Structures are given as C-alpha cells and as structure tokens.
Amino acid sequence: MLGVSGITDRIRHAGNSRGIYLSASALSNHFGIWTPKDLCSGNSGKAVPGSGFQRRPSKLQHGRSYKAQPQPYQLTLPQINSILKTNEYSFKVPEFDGRNISSVLGFDSNQLASNVPIEDRRSAASCLQSRGMLLGVFDGHAGCACAQAISERLLYYIAVSLLPRKTLIEIEDAVENERPVLPILHWHKHPNDYVSRETGRLYFTSLRTYWQECIDLADEEKLDTSAALKHAFNRLDSDISLEAQIEASNPYTNYTALRVALSGSTACVAHIDGTDMHVANAGDSRAVLGVQNPDGSWSALTLSTSHNAQNPEEVHRVRSEHPASEEKTVVRHDRLLGLLMPFRAFGDVKFKWSLELQKQVLESRPELLTGDEFFRSYPANHHTPPYLTAEPEVTYHRLRPQDKFLVLATDGLWDIMHRQNVVQIVGEHLTRLHIQQPISAAGYKVTVGQMHSLLLERKARMSSAFKDQNTATHLIRHALGSNEFGNIEHSRLSKMLSLPEGMARTYRDDLTVVVVQLNSHLIGAYNRAEDSID
C-alpha cells in the first residue's frame, strides 16, 4: 500500500497546503480540509485548489522507492491491540431474572485519537426518572473544551426536558431543602472519560435555572421527545453562550466558559425507549441503523442528515437565512464563511455573536487569551450573525425486529468508510459472536469431512472474532487496516497507528464509534403487542 516515501511526500504537501491556505486552522480539522480519505485513497478531487497537492507518484516509482528505503519499524500485534483497546468500553444492560427488559442489549464504544489531545467525546447514560437510554458522540473543533462540556451537560438537559413537571418539582424541592436529589442519569463512562470538576457548580446552576424555568413555564403536559431534544440542544447552546458573557467569581470557571464558547462541537444523540428511537443531530456526525434483510444480508439506514456543504438542503438553508449579498461568502470552499465545515454546532460563538459582542467580551478580558492568535482574529465577511445554530434535526424511527444495531460515529469514521461497509462489518461481527454456539451432530446426516470443514471454518471465525470482543474496536480496526479485499492488513494498520503525533491528523481524523445492540426479540414482542391493540 502506501510506501514510506509516499507518506512523507504527501505529508510535506499537506503541511504546505495547510500553511498556505488556512492560517487560522492550526487547531481543528474543521478548519483544515485534509481528511484521511483524501490522503489514503489518493483521491485529490476534494483537494483544495492551489494547495500544491499533486497526485502521488506512479506505482512503479513508488515500489522502487519503497524498496530503497529501509524497512520501517512495524508495530507488533499486541502493540496494535493495546493502542486500539485503550479506550474501548462495553456496557451490557443487566439482565433481570434471565430476561433483558430493555430494548437495548448494550453498547460498545471506542475512540482513537489523532489530535493531541483528542477532540472527540462520547457519552452514554440511562435515564432513571424517565425511561430510555441516551447515547451521543460529539466531535469538537478548535480544541476539545466545547465537546467536553457538551458531553457532560447535554444528556442532563435532554433528561430534564423529558421529565414531567411533577418530577422536576420534586427535584427542585429536594435541592431547595438540601435533601438528597433523585439521580436523573446513570452514566456509562469509560475510566478514561474526563469529568471537569471546577465548572460543576456553574453547570449545575445553569441546569437548575433551566428546570426552574421548565417548572414555571411548561404546561402539565410534558414535551414530546422530539421537541424535548430540540429544546435541550438550543437551551444548552444558549447557556454556553450566556456563561461566556457573564463574569463569574472564579477566574478559572470564567476561563473555561470562554474556552467552551469559543471552541465548538457537533452532537449526535440517540434516545432509545422501547420501540421509539429518536436521533437528534447537529453537525456532521452520523447515526446509521443496521438492518438485517430476510436473506441475512445487511443494509444501512441513515437516521441523520449531515449538516455540511455536501448537503444541498443545508447549504440552501444557510444561504436563505442571510441577505443575497452574502450568497458568495456565506459558504465558501464548502465551508461556512470559508472556515467551518459543519453547518450546525454548539459553541463557536464567533459565528453566532455579533462582532461588537465578540470584541466586547474578548477585549474586556485579554488576560484570558494572551498569546492565542486564533481567538483574537474575527471571521471575515461577518455581517449578519448568527451564521451557526445548534438546533438539531430530529429523526424518529420506530424500531422493527430487523433493526439489529445502531452505529453512532463522528465523521472520522464516515470519511474513510461507507455506511454500507460499516453495517456489513458490524453485522457480521455481531452475528459471528452469536453463531459461535455449540453444534451438535445428533439427528443430522453429516460426514466426517463435512464436519471437519465446518469446524475449521468456525475456528477461523473464532480467531478473528476473538481479537475484538468490542464491536467498535473491530470497526476501527477495519476502518484503518482494511485492504481492497476487506481483509485487515497488518502493515497498513501498523503504519496508520504509528504515525507521529503531529502527522496523524493529516491521515485520519479523531474517530469515535458507538455501536448500540438492539434487543430484537423484545422489539418484536412490543411490535406484536402494539399491532394486536391496533
């Protein structure tokens, strides 16, 4: 595959291009256009004009230069596994009395960093005061502050939005009287998942204000899930925006709030409750459902729309929100104002606040931002804010027995893998684990030879399945290491994982994958029950 010289070649190009083209893009992928797909597949179609990117040398030259180079150091399999498995997390919904009463069997999640530190975040929690499970992936840009804040806060906002007024009053009452508060969420966190402590107070105050408003304003009727999700997204974004404007007593909190507001993050959250699945998405992460056809093959059903320049409707929406004079500048080079790849995101107040407000906030506290060139520059062509919104698009899907799993992933995955491919790999991996049940020859007419080849096949499957118990890890391994035949190629995987810190970002984005396994038995039972009522 890629020769060493090939890689260095392209890295030089990439470096140049970034330098020339996007001065303000040092920190985030959304400001840099390089995606692993561009680089690895040699597809220069998306390359930025004038970047100096050239097609890679022909295969012949390539091969020769490869030979001339000394064999590079290759990671061993245990090393690769240890890198891939560092952040993997699995959660199985506990069975009650031998039966699983949740429509979610469990989920596997994993992350692979290319930025240092990683800017992706993931969250998962079960709602305790209402039903259902919430899972989300958050792709941060311009730093990880916003993604971090969203990952800690968004699920709370959603849960609060979903709670009936009565429960909110109980909670408020408990907080007021300093009694123990009913827990709202049960988190499923990887030990490496970071939780910020210093800002906890601020976050809690904002959340409390939110539910107090809900109590004061809302009707007795609770919101339907779709509206609740939208409400929660918007509310959190406006809270982030407000927190950055007010001056808190604690300078660190202050600093963090501003960092959160200046950085940005997309969000893709799924809420699964019984046969109801809602996916709320803002940005270019994606949720894809794995559907098993009656013949056993797999097809992908996308449950979110990406909010970026590849989505014509979204481009149209953005353009329509601004005067015709800005039509050329609002979306340039497939980016919002020529800078931002996702068209919807949390934070990024530069795209939301007026220039006056930005100046006022930033210049009032220059000490917070010293030395950071990026934060002080303002977007060009900034005339009629806001350009950016955190309003999610919510998709509803009624789960069917053939819906086996849901993949939530940031664009790091979707850039290098087609959704059909993703569903294929996950589907096969999950069913292999299931199929590997003991077999019995009793009652069948089997010859020794047939049994032997069956056993060998099972053994081969076992050995590959054993490598990754975690489906998300399995998916990442395939995403990085698959060759054209869909087999994992060790040398390729090794190269992709041993890229030096600064270089990794030019080949692949941060990758976050959550694979939710659905309880199709239970869903089938629900469906039958509902059908019979109808």
Distance CA 339, CA 250 (A): 32
Would you say 227 or 446 has its CB closer to another protein? 446
Catalog residues that contact another protein under the rule CB under 8 A.
438-442, 445-449, 451-452, 455-456, 458-459, 462
CB 185 within 8 Å of CB 155: yes
Q: In the chain, what is the straight-line distance between the N-terminal and C-terminal CA atoms, in Å?
A: 57
| CB 28, min distance to another protein, A | 49
Would you say 94 or 438 has its CB closer to another protein? 438
In one letter, which amino acid is 485? F
| CB 458, min distance to another protein, A | 6
Which H or E run includes 474?
Answer: helix 471-481
Q: How far is CA 116 from the centre of its chain?
A: 17
The Cα-based distances of 515 to 405, 412, 473 in angstroms read 7, 15, 10
In one letter, which amino acid is 132? G
| CB 452, min distance to another protein, A | 5
| Largest distance between two CA atoms of the chain | 84
Contacts of 34 (CB under 8 A, 6+ apart): 14, 17, 18, 505, 506
Would you say 355 or 456 has its CB closer to another protein? 456
Question: How would you classify the pairing of strands 120-127 and 133-141?
Answer: antiparallel
Would you say 380 or 435 has its CB closer to another protein? 435
Would you say 328 or 452 has its CB closer to another protein? 452
Would you say 190 or 458 has its CB closer to another protein? 458
| CB 437, min distance to another protein, A | 10
Would you say 71 or 447 has its CB closer to another protein? 447
Report helix, strand or coil for 277. strand
Contacts of 4 (CB under 8 A, 6+ apart): 65, 66, 69, 72
Would you say 77 or 446 has its CB closer to another protein? 446
Distance CA 238, CA 511 (A): 27
CB 530 within 8 Å of CB 116: no
SS3 for 210-274, per residue?
Answer: HHHHHHHHCCCCCCCHHHHHHHHHHHHHHHHHHHHHCCCCCHHHHHHHHHHHHCEEEEEEEEEEC
Would you say 5 or 469 has its CB closer to another protein? 469
Structure tokens that stand for 209 in this block: 């204000």
Would you say 434 or 445 has its CB closer to another protein? 445
Would you say 370 or 437 has its CB closer to another protein? 437
Q: Count other Cβ atoms within 10 Å, centred on residue 527.
A: 16
| CB 461, min distance to another protein, A | 11
| CB 488, min distance to another protein, A | 23
CB 126 within 8 Å of CB 190: no
Would you say 55 or 445 has its CB closer to another protein? 445
Would you say 101 or 462 has its CB closer to another protein? 462
Smallest CA-to-CA distance from 153 within 261, 213, 255, 239 is with 239
Contacts of 334 (CB under 8 A, 6+ apart): 33, 308, 309, 310, 341
| CB 467, min distance to another protein, A | 17
Structure tokens that stand for 496 in this block: 């992709």
CA dihedral 183, 147, 149, 184 (to 10 degrees): -10
Q: In what order do the strands lie in the sheet with 403-409?
A: 89-92, 104-112, 511-518, 403-409, 286-292, 298-302
| CB 1, min distance to another protein, A | 34
